[in-house]
A and B are shown apart, each in its own frame.
Chain A
Amino acid sequence: MTDRGGAGELGLMIRLLPNQVVVEVIGEVDMVTAPDLGCLLGALVDRGHTDVVLDLANLDFLDSSGLQMIDDTSARLRPSGGVLQIRSPSARTRRLLDVSEVSGLVEFEPSEPDLVPLGSEQQADDGSTIVSATTTGPPVGVGRVAAMAAGHDVVDAALELVTALAQATVGGADGSSVSLARHGRIGTVGATDDTVAQMDRDQYATGQGPCLAAAGEGHWFHIESVAEEARWPDFVPRARTGGIGSILSTPLMAAGRSVGALNIYSRTERAFGPPEQELAALFATQASRILASAEVAAEQATRLQAALRVRELIAQAQGVVMARQGVSAEVASATLLRSSRQAHIPLRRQATEITASTQRQVPLTGSEP
């Protein structure tokens, strides 16, 4: 009865340290989730991270596609002299890595070193500043997004994590946000700063821009250079005034239709090439999953509410029968079942009629005009 639909669940916690990035894998790495993780690790390598740690302490499952992904990542690290480090694998995972000879391509880290938050002045090996250096303080994480469900608050918090992570990992990103259509109105959830929130508002106010286009048409829109952009003439000058150089908007899909967009903003022109677009698509996928599971939860809540209404109706009718005939709850229930069957009408309709009949038989004093 707890059908998981075959797809594994994967959560990620990413810690950006001065000279190291730690990716904690939570849940299952299988055919479905390995490409997402591979895409993220690839993007980290492309951004110049050479010291990448894969923390497997909370890994529940790893299959051959996961092993292949580890193999690929370590191959991508090698040209820059980096080695993929594996932290805290279970005995079973360790054996799997040994048997598949993947352990020859990685290093095993004995224990977790002291974590130092990333300073904003941190320089990469080539002398360029790492953009993610702006994310000091607590680690950025996306926890078990696929398993996440429930109301808007939880969904919003999860989407905020996705935008924070998108900003920290997508090269050239200075800010990001999620635009979401709710109750027929589009609004912003999880903007990483005020400029970004204002950019979104400017698009809603002018009724145009890449974010609205992506949300409306279901494919991505890219302003490579705000200075040269000819589309969206009402919005683009505002972006220019706001100091924005380029914008990438990727649609969020839930149940096959577009419900919003993940927007990534940069102060630099032409900040987003194909790898950044790929990474944006990964985060848009994560955000879409959060929305899809929230939709399922909302649907279940609606069904449960309807069922509770029917239960209450039947309980009321049961109470009427108990009072009228002076019988126990079970006898009253059996009476209802019998009369519903004899009358060939469903129990809920029978119950409605019985409850309504009390108003005809015993009118409240003064209720008649």
Chain B
Amino acid sequence: MNRTVEMLERGRRDVGLSQGELWFRYFELGGMSTALEVEAYLYGALIPTPHDGDLIAAALNERFAELGGDHPIPYSDDE
């Protein structure tokens, strides 16, 4: 996996979600981390588990898809 913290934070800015909105979407998809923890993941202060990272990536990718785009954020089991 070559997903970096920067990709998550850049993706969040690209789709125009606030950190709170991103957390809400991540929570909807089954995420168990708190809003503060997700904020820390985005700043690189905490490292998410691959699964948590995937859920954040999925929340962002679904937002990209809603806006008519592709799924640009890679998942942990991507080549």
Give chain A's interface residues, CB within 8 Å of chain B: 1, 303, 307, 310-311, 314-315, 318, 330, 333-334, 337-338, 340-341, 344, 346-348
The reply to whether B20 and A1 form a contact with Cβ atoms under 8 Å apart is yes
The reply to whether B65 and A337 form a contact with Cβ atoms under 8 Å apart is no
A340 to B30, CA, bound (A): 15
Nearest chain-B residue to A335 (Cβ)? B77
The reply to whether B30 and A346 form a contact with Cβ atoms under 8 Å apart is no
The reply to whether B28 and A337 form a contact with Cβ atoms under 8 Å apart is no
Residues of chain A lying within 8 A (CB to CB) of residue B46: none
Nearest-Cβ distance from residue B61 to partner chain A, whole angstroms: 7
**B residues contacting the other copy or chain, number (CB 8 A):** 21
A307-B27 in contact given A1-B19, A337-B58 (Cβ < 8 Å): yes
- Residues of B contacting A: mostly: helix
Give chain B's interface residues, CB within 8 Å of chain A: 18-20, 24, 27-30, 35, 39, 51, 54-55, 58, 61-62, 65, 71, 75-77
Nearest chain-B residue to A307 (Cβ)? B28
Selected contact of B62 from candidates A311, A315, A333, A347, CB within 8 Å: A347
A338-B29 in contact given A330-B51, A333-B51 (Cβ < 8 Å): no
Residues of chain B lying within 8 A (CB to CB) of residue A307: 24, 27-28
Selected contact of A338 from candidates B18, B20, B65, B77, CB within 8 Å: B77
Residues of chain B lying within 8 A (CB to CB) of residue A315: 30
Q: Show 29 A/B contacts (Cβ-Cβ < 8 Å), sorted by A.
A: A1-B18, A1-B19, A1-B39, A307-B24, A307-B27, A307-B28, A310-B28, A311-B27, A311-B28, A311-B30, A315-B30, A318-B30, A330-B51, A333-B30, A333-B54, A333-B55, A334-B75, A334-B76, A334-B77, A337-B54, A337-B58, A337-B75, A338-B77, A346-B62, A346-B65, A347-B29, A347-B58, A347-B62, A348-B28
Nearest-Cβ distance from residue B39 to partner chain A, whole angstroms: 7
A334-B51 in contact given A311-B28, A314-B29 (Cβ < 8 Å): yes
Nearest-Cβ distance from residue B54 to partner chain A, whole angstroms: 6
A333 to B24, CA, bound (A): 18
Given pairs A338-B75, A347-B29, 7 additional interface contacts (CB within 8 A)? A314-B29, A318-B30, A330-B51, A333-B30, A333-B55, A344-B65, A346-B65
